[in-house]
A and B are shown apart, each in its own frame.
Chain A
Amino acid sequence: MQIYLPIAELSVNAFVLLGMGGLIGMLSGMFGVGGGFLMTPLLIFIGIPPAVAVATGANQLVASSVSGVLGHLRRKTVDIKMGVVLSVGGAVGSVLGVWVFSLLRALGQVELLVSLCYVLFLGVVGGLMLNESVRALRRARAGGPAKPRKHHGWIHGLPLKMRFRVSKLYISAIPPFLVGVMVGLLAAIMGVGGGFIMVPAMIYLLGMPTAVVVGTSLFQIIFVTALTTLLHATQNQSVDAILALLLIFGGVIGAQVGAALGVRIRAEQLRILLALIVLAVCIKIALDLVLTPSEPFSFGEMR
C-alpha cells in the first residue's frame, strides 16, 4: 500500500516503513539503544531526504524508548536518579552539539565529519564491546567467577557524591553528567539518540550493573530525542508526521517483542550481538567513504 508523505513529499510503501519500524524497535527493546544509527541510514536508503530522516527518526525513537522504558520500569531495572543526571548532561550536550553543527556547516564538509564520527565511534565502541563480551563469555564457560569491576581511584576523589541505589553505586554526579554531555554532543552531531555510546559508557566508565543499563539508557534517550524532535520541528520543519506514525506503530510493537526476547538471552550474548551490528554498520559506512561511488554527483542542500 503506497502512502504519500506530506513533508518528505514522496510516496512510499507503508508496509516497508512498518517493517523497518518493527525491526529497529526490536533492537531498541533488546539492547537499550535507540537504533538511530540504523534508522537514519535506512530511511535515506529508501529515498527519504536526509533532513527529514534525521528529524522523523528522532520522533520515532521517543515512542519506542517510552514503550521500552515502561517495560523496564515494571521490572525495576531503571535507575531514575542516574537517568535524570544523564539527561541534564544530555540536554547541555545537545544544545552545545547543535551549535557545533551549525559552525561546522558554515565551514562545509559536515557530511564527511558525520561519516567519520560514525566510523570512529561505531568502530571503537563495537570493537571494545565485542572484545570484552567474548572474554566474559569465555570466563563464564570456564566456570571461573567474573572479576568484579573496579573504579579508578580518581573517580572516588570527586566531590558531589550521590547514592544511586538501583545501580548500587556511591559516586560523584560529575562523571555521569559528563557522560551525558558527551553523548548529547555526539548525538546532535550524528543525528542519533546516542544509546550505542551511552550503553558502553555506563558499563565501562560508570561501572553500572548490566541489568539496569538498558532501562536507564532508554530513559535518557526519551529526553534527548524529544528535545531533538522539537528543535527540528521548529527550526527546519522537517518532522514528517505520517512517516513518524508508521515507524512508531511498527516500532512500539517491535520494542515489546525485543524487551521480551532480551530477558531470555544472556547479557554477554546480547552484547556480542549488539557489537556485531554496530561493527557491520561501521564497516558499511567506511566502505562508502573509500570505495569508488557509482555516481559521484549528488544534489545538495541549498545553503
Chain B
Amino acid sequence: MSRFAVLLLALLALPAGAAEERVIAALSQKAVGITATFTGSQIFVFGAVERARLPDARDDALSVIVTISGPRRAKVVRKKERVFGVWINTESVEIDEAPSFYAVAASGPLYEVLSHTEDLRHRISIDRAMRVVGEAGEAADPLEFQEAAIRLSRSAGVYTEADDGVEIIGRTLFQTSIGLPSNLVEGDYEARVFLLRDRQVLDRFATTLEVRKVGLERFLYTLAHERSLLYGLLSVLVALLAGWGASEATRLLRR
C-alpha cells in the first residue's frame, strides 16, 4: 500500500520538473513568394509553452528568443588602407559562414535572458551566427573584419535584433513579428524558438520558411542561369527592338 503511494507521488511530481516544459510554435506563413512587386514581408511567429501542470509564479521567469536565419554563404570582407596617398584594398578576410539574413527577437534584453555559454552552444546572437573559422587570411586582426561584416549587414537592414521584441502573454503564450526586407535572397530560412529560464535554454523548436522567386521573377532567373546564351540574345534583341521602336515612335509623333 505504502509502495503504491510512493509510486503515485513520484508520477505526479514528474511533470512538474523543469525538463517537462516544451515550446511549440508556428509561423504565419510557410513560404514567401518573391514577385515583381515584392517589397518585403512580415512574418508572425506565435506559440505556447506546453506543460502538464497549471502555470504558476515560477513561470514569470520564463523567456523566449526567436531567430530567423537566411541561407548561409561564404563572404569576403576587404579593408581599404592608404598607400602612397591613395585608398586601396589591402587586407581581406574570408568569412566561412554568414547568414544572408539574420533576425533575433527576445522577450527582454538579449544577455539578460541568455547566458554566454548558451549563446555559444546554440549560436543565437548576431555575433555568434557568423562564423570565421579555418584560415582567417593574412589579416592581423580578423575580429575587426567580423565586426565590420556585421556593421555592413546591419546598415543594409539584413541583420536586425529586437530586445523586448517577443511578447509573452499570460505565462503560456508568446508572439513576435519579424520583418523581412525587400533585398531577400532565395533559399530555406530557418526559424528557431528558444524557451529559457535563468538564462538557460529549456527547450527549442525549429521550422523552415521557404523563400522563393515566383512568376516572372522565377522565369527570368531560371532562364538567365540555365539558358544563358538564349537569355543574352533575347536581352540584345529586346534592346534593338526598343531602340528601333522609340525612334519610329518619335518620327511618327513629329509628322
Contacts and interface: CB of A to CB of B under 8 A. Distances in A.
Interface of A: 1-4, 6-7, 9-11, 47, 59-60, 62-71, 74, 108-109, 111-112, 226, 229-230, 232-234, 237, 239, 241-242, 244-245, 248-249, 252-253, 255-256, 288-293, 295-303
A14 to B, nearest CB: 10
B199 interface: no
A289 B78 contact: no
Contacts of A241: 220, 224, 231, 234-235, 238
Contacts of B79: 296-297
Q: A-B pairs with the 4 shortest C-beta distances? A: A66-B243, A233-B232, A252-B246, A11-B182
B224 A237 contact: yes
23 contacts: A6-B224, A7-B220, A9-B183, A11-B38, A47-B183, A63-B240, A66-B240, A70-B248, A111-B88, A111-B89, A112-B89, A230-B232, A230-B233, A230-B236, A233-B229, A241-B231, A245-B242, A255-B243, A256-B246, A256-B247, A296-B79, A298-B78, A302-B76
Nearest to B223: A241
A61 to B, nearest CB: 8
B137 to A, nearest CB: 11
A74 B251 CA distance: 10
Given A11-B182, A248-B242, A293 B80 contact: yes
A292 B87 contact: yes
Most buried by B among A249, A289, A292: A289
Contacts of A300: 76-78, 89, 92
Contacts of B236: 59, 62, 226, 229-230
A67 B79 CA distance: 42
Interface stretch (B57-65, B145-153, B171-179, B202-210): B145-153
Interface stretch (B12-20, B29-37, B103-111): B29-37
Given A10-B182, A68-B243, A297-B149, 13 more contacts: A66-B240, A70-B244, A70-B247, A226-B240, A229-B239, A233-B224, A237-B228, A245-B238, A290-B85, A290-B87, A293-B80, A295-B148, A300-B77
Interface residues of B, number: 60
A301 B182 CA distance: 21
A293 B186 CA distance: 32
Interface in B158-210: 182-186
B11 interface: no
A296 B139 CA distance: 14
A282 B159 CA distance: 35
Interface of B: 34-40, 74-82, 85-89, 92, 145, 148-149, 151-152, 182-186, 213, 216-218, 220-221, 224-225, 228-229, 231-236, 238-240, 242-248, 250-251
A274 to B, nearest CB: 21
The DSSP consensus for interface residues of chain A is helix
Contacts of B77: 297-300
Contacts of A60: 239
B246 A255 contact: yes
Contacts of B36: 3-4, 242
B224 A239 contact: yes
A116 to B, nearest CB: 8
Contacts of B145: 297
Nearest to A8: B183
Contacts of A4: 34-39, 182, 217
Contacts of A62: 236, 239-240, 243
Contacts of B85: 290
Contacts of A74: 251
A66 B35 CA distance: 31
Nearest to A303: B76
A249 B246 CA distance: 9
A138 B183 CA distance: 53
B148 A297 contact: yes
Contacts of B152: 295, 297-299
Given A4-B182, A292-B87, A244 B78 contact: no
B235 A239 contact: yes
A234 B229 CA distance: 5
Contacts of A233: 224, 228-229, 231-232, 235
Nearest to A253: B246
